[in-house]
Copies of this chain bind each other. A is one copy, B any other.
Amino acid sequence: MKFKVKQKDLSKHINIVQKGISSRTTIQILDGILIETLNDKLKLTSTDLEISIETFLDAEVKEEGSIVANSRIFGDIIKKLPDSIIEVEVKDNKINIKCENSEFNILGNYAVDYPDLPIILQKENLKLSVESLKNAIRQTVFATSQDETRPTLSGVLVEIENNNISFVSLDGYRLALMKLNTDYNIDLKIIIPGRILNEINKILEDTEEDVILSAAPGHVLFNLGDTIIYSRLLEGQFFNYKDIIRDDHKTKVIVNKKDFQNALERASLLAREEKANLIKLSIIDDNIIIKSNSEVGDVMERVLSNKDGEDLNIAFNSRYILEGIKIMDSEEIQLNLMGSLNPCIINGVEDDSYTYLVLPVRLAQEDF
């Protein structure tokens, strides 16, 4: 194998495939990047057997071939070379790298030892803008469960029905739901592992094109143009989340998101993890009073709001309510409440595509 390639290009695409390499792999060859020539292109592949990444770049191919190069060593070398043309020549498992006044010789592994990627028969295709996909991932993946006894909850449900795509995550304490409109008239219900969505979001950072999502039994593909990401899906039934998002509310409160978030963050300073990060909210007329106390001291915060309905005392784990509010983009948000024992449902006022639901902490009324 022999090819010439621009240092900047190769470096950029190595960064992409490196996101598919697990630092904890025990299979030595999976530390490697599979490099193959393909007409006038170079194809780089990485996999940890759950996520696989293929990426293509232009190259001047002088001799066809393939090799597996250690991701860290090959990556470090390429990234440190000057912004110039790199010439790579492979003989047997020896890789020779030349660039201006630098010359490296490193050992690779034969491509024949590299595992085959799953062959996927694509079924359903749907196009999403990078921005909406990034937002949908960012606003749901943080609420997936870390509890290994309920594996489906460690993923995000992607569900298409009635021209709506929903991204849903929940962990028993809160639920995050992002709804996007679509023209696609298909029915789809897949669960994508949260860890893989985090890696995908990092790759999407540098992407501007639309993303084509293709589902197939057991797998999902994200096609970003010159990069394709394959992910294993989680098997099993997702929690029937629709039943817990109720429509009947006795109290509706509109509040400035930033003011409310700042007040919650300050109140959380005195909440303590061993006490469930407890913060207490009293919704009285047009004020939300937030209180918290621990052996360190106590705090009281007041936030102006616009209330419709009954006054209310309700307590939360500050981490769960804050994580959802922080991630919302609306300037004003609406809290929808139904007594102190039922979940609080939070939406943006101008934009209702995102819903965050958080369970209260049960507390006797005299403790407020």
Question: Interface of A with B (CB < 8 Å)?
Answer: 70, 73, 76-77, 80-82, 95, 101-107, 262-263, 265-266, 269-270, 296-303
Contact = CB atoms under 8 A, between A and B. Distances in A.
Nearest to A80: B266
Contact of A300 (B73, B103, B296, B297): B103
A299 B269 contact: no
A302 B99 CA distance: 11
B297 A81 contact: no
A297 B102 contact: no
Contact of A266 (B77, B106, B262, B269): B77
A1 to B, nearest CB: 17
A163 B303 CA distance: 62
Lowest 7 A-B CB distances belong to which pairs?
A106-B297, A101-B302, A80-B266, A104-B299, A103-B300, A105-B297, A76-B269
20 contacts: A70-B296, A73-B269, A73-B270, A73-B297, A76-B269, A80-B265, A82-B262, A95-B297, A101-B302, A101-B303, A102-B266, A102-B299, A104-B270, A104-B298, A105-B297, A105-B298, A105-B299, A106-B270, A107-B296, A107-B297
Contacts of A105: 297-299
Given A73-B296, A82-B262, A296-B107, A301 B102 contact: yes
A208 B262 CA distance: 32
Given A77-B266, A104-B297, A105-B299, 5 more contacts: A82-B262, A101-B263, A102-B300, A106-B296, A107-B296
Nearest to A267: B102
B103 A269 contact: no
A253 to B, nearest CB: 16
Contact of A301 (B101, B106, B296): B101
Nearest to A299: B104
A103 B270 CA distance: 12
